[in-house]
Amino acid sequence: MTLTNKVILVTGAASGMGKACVMKLAQMGGKVYACDRNTMGLNDFQVFENVITKQLDVSSSDQCQAVVDQVIRDQGHIDGLVNFAGVIKRTGVLDCTDEEFDYVMKINTYGCFYMLRAAAKVMVKAGKGSIVNVSSIWSDIGASGVIAYCASKGAVSQLTRSAALDLAGTGVRVNEIRPGETNTAMLASERKGRFTQEDIENKLKEIAASIPEKRLASPSEMADAAIFLLSDQSSYMQGSHITVDGGYSAQ
């Protein structure tokens, strides 16, 4: 999977899966734009000459358009986009507030749409490009206590399918990965304050035990799936999803 000199834009790049993806792309020789609203988390990329860091709040349509415009000014084209940016609120239907629901939807769904639209427009003009959205196993099978997250990721899956059909035949592909439980800060987030550190660690062990592979995924494994979809080795994939969940959804 050669991505040498390919121009790839990655959102949610400051941590977790996004960070792992940027690291791998940089090592493969790609020209990577690492974008996140957390600029402190982008500092680790300073050792890579081929990584350009950008502050970006994907919930802002203007900022999403601006970062794509900047890449075009710098490089003249975009070969790939990976929408890793995402957040979670651990509230169910009875206690999820309007503000929590809006917050999750704005970043997870609207942010994905804003970036997808902006990148697709320039890719169509070039006649090539690969867009990788990141939904979740919860986009399809659902989970309790995270209603906004499930709704947002279900919407991402539909964005992927619809955009893929809109862009079929243009040379631009839109696909997605559906991560299962992955060992990132998000998995432990929104638990502190309500639980002790010991409780959180026990919960993560419980989650791992519920997976057929009996472990959490690493961010690197999700990055590998995204990189495959960016590459020409997935050239006949359009509107598809790759589920990376250690067998959880096969149960």
Of 84, 209, 91, which Cα lies nearest the Cα of 143? 91
Neighbours of 48 (CB within 10 A): 17
Of 33, 110, 114, 149, catalytic = 149
33 classed as catalytic: no
Cβ neighbours of residue 109 under 8 Å, at least 6 residues apart?
152, 155, 156, 159
CA distance 110 to 135: 13
Q: Which two tokens stand for residue 110?
A: 């609207």
Q: How many Å apart are CA 71 and CA 80, to the nearest integer?
A: 11
Contacts of 141 (CB under 8 A, 6+ apart): 249
Q: To 10 degrees, what angle do helices 98-105 and 147-167 make? A: 30
User: Which residues belong to the active site?
Assistant: 149
